[in-house]
Amino acid sequence: MAQATPDLTRAAIERLVRESIYKQLGKQVPAGNEAPNPLVVNVSARHCHLSPEAVEKLFGPGHQLTPMKWLYQEGQYAAQESVTLVGPRSRVISNLRILGPCRPLNQVELAFTDAIALGYDIPVRQSGDIEGTPGCMLMGPKGFLELDKGVIRAAPHVHMAPEDAAHYGVKQGDFMKMRVGGDLGVTFDRIFVRVSDSFKLEVHIDTDEGNACRLGPQSQVELVK
């Protein structure tokens, strides 16, 4: 595969690819209505977010998370550290990845099939909305942490910058639709909108949702108001 030259920006490369595809299809490139940034859809596997105090309790005094893989959103990463989750009836998930950096609250995000395997009945919630949710026990190499709440199934959501929100005509807290094409194509009706200057345009769905629509690199995806 040919390497892009350093003089071409990502946006320029994407524009050239779009023009090439439309040319092959014998169609005109739509004028004046191009999104300012490319849409990325990622499947978010089960993971947890922890406070600095929780990390120290699980991994020892003074311990800090070590980045293993940087994620699409600026400054976010999958840490080298993982924990064991103990759910109802002592059922466990080992190697539950921690995502960094640390947050003020502790939250575990599972897919529906994860919850079934553990014996949970977990609600679909926006990140940070953990009141009235089930708890669990987390075990690390230096200790354990009992949470009285914080286990959720994360609602599908989209991160976007203000320029993206302006393009789509939405604001923080709105809902959008996401159409996924293909043999198992589906439409998600409630994609929650999050807007911040620090965000890049990215939709997060969980593993169950990604598998249900057979999301892959070749999937055609459209975000609509």
- Each residue of 34-46: pLDDT tens digit? 789 999 999 999 9
If pLDDT is split at 50, 70 and 90, which confidence band does 4 have? very low
Closest CA to 116 of 82, 153, 169, 145: 153
Lowest mean pLDDT among 1-10, 17-26, 128-137: 1-10
Mean pLDDT of the residues in the chain: 90
Per-residue pLDDT tens over the stretch 142-197: 999 999 999 999 999 999 999 999 999 999 999 999 999 999 999 999 999 999 99
Decide if pLDDT at 9 tops 50: no
Contact status, residue 169 vs residue 162, Cβ threshold 8 Å: no
Q: What is the dihedral of CA 12, 14, 20, 23, to 10 degrees?
A: -100
* pTM of the complete model: 0.83
Cβ-proximal residues to 171 (8 Å cutoff; 6+ apart), any chain? 165, 193, 195
Supply the pLDDT for residue 121.
93
If pLDDT is split at 50, 70 and 90, which confidence band does 97 have? very high
DSSP E strands in 114-220: the ranges are 124-125, 136-140, 143-147, 151-154, 157-160, 175-180, 186-195, 202-206
Instruction: Work out whether strand 77-86 and strand 136-140 pair parallel, antiparallel, or are unpaired.
Output: antiparallel
Three-state DSSP state, 49? strand
Stronger pLDDT, 22 or 67, i.e. the higher one: 67
Domain limits, the chain: 45-154
Decide if pLDDT at 22 tops 70: no
